Amino acid sequence: MVYCGIDLSLTATGVAILKDADGSDFKVISKLIQTKPSDHSNKWVRIKFIVDQIKDFINTHDAKYVILEDYIISQINITTTTKLVEVGACVRMMLNDMNMPFMTVVGSQLKKYITGTGSSKKSSILKDLYKLYNVDVDDDNEGDAIVLAMMCRDVAEKLTPDKKYQEAVIKKIIKTREHYNWTM
């Protein structure tokens, strides 16, 4: 089975695939989709580029399920928040149009799944990803996407993760998070 994780960003969207996942035996394929405003004629061209890149990645690797990080709503930078919601809505629409089973998780669930605490720093995520799974990446967005793909596998396959804190996160996700085209 093939699972996908997506960590949306306007500048460096992380996407990851977990292939042939069987317990601890898996192959990770990850990618950064990097953009900047000057590369595109307007924000909608930029958003379309991100959406098209994600769709191509999903189709190339034949993903069956997707988990993406939910919106982070910030009153501090409402302009960036608005742009992230726009790209997030477009990605959700694309996944829905593909009839792709998907769900979202909040950042604290991602952090708790990999580190054991929902308030850990980005650097802890990368360290624990390496320590627990021997997966070494340098970019936070790419690391988050890989963790999301691992969470996706656990939810889709109804697996019981090794760590109790991971198990608690997965149970909560299944119980409380909305899911689309995904039969639980």
CATH code at position 75 = 3.30.420.10
- Total structural domains within the chain: 1
Give, in order, the Cα–Cα distances in Å from 99 to each of 4, 70, 102.
14, 19, 9
Torsions phi, psi for 73 (to 5 deg): -90, 120
What pLDDT, on the 0 to 100 scale, is given for residue 21?
56
pTM listed for this prediction: 0.93
Nearest to 113 by CA among 169, 155, 156, 75: 169
Nearest to 67 by CA among 115, 18, 21, 34: 18
The one-letter amino acid at 171: K
What pLDDT, on the 0 to 100 scale, is given for residue 109?
95
What pLDDT, on the 0 to 100 scale, is given for residue 125?
93
What pLDDT, on the 0 to 100 scale, is given for residue 172?
94
What residues make up the domain containing 161?
2-180
Per-residue pLDDT of the chain (184 residues; tens, 9 = 90+): 899 999 999 899 999 999 975 555 688 999 999 998 888 889 899 999 999 999 999 999 999 999 999 987 766 778 888 889 999 999 999 999 999 999 999 999 999 999 998 888 888 999 999 998 899 999 999 999 999 999 999 999 888 888 999 999 999 999 999 899 998 7
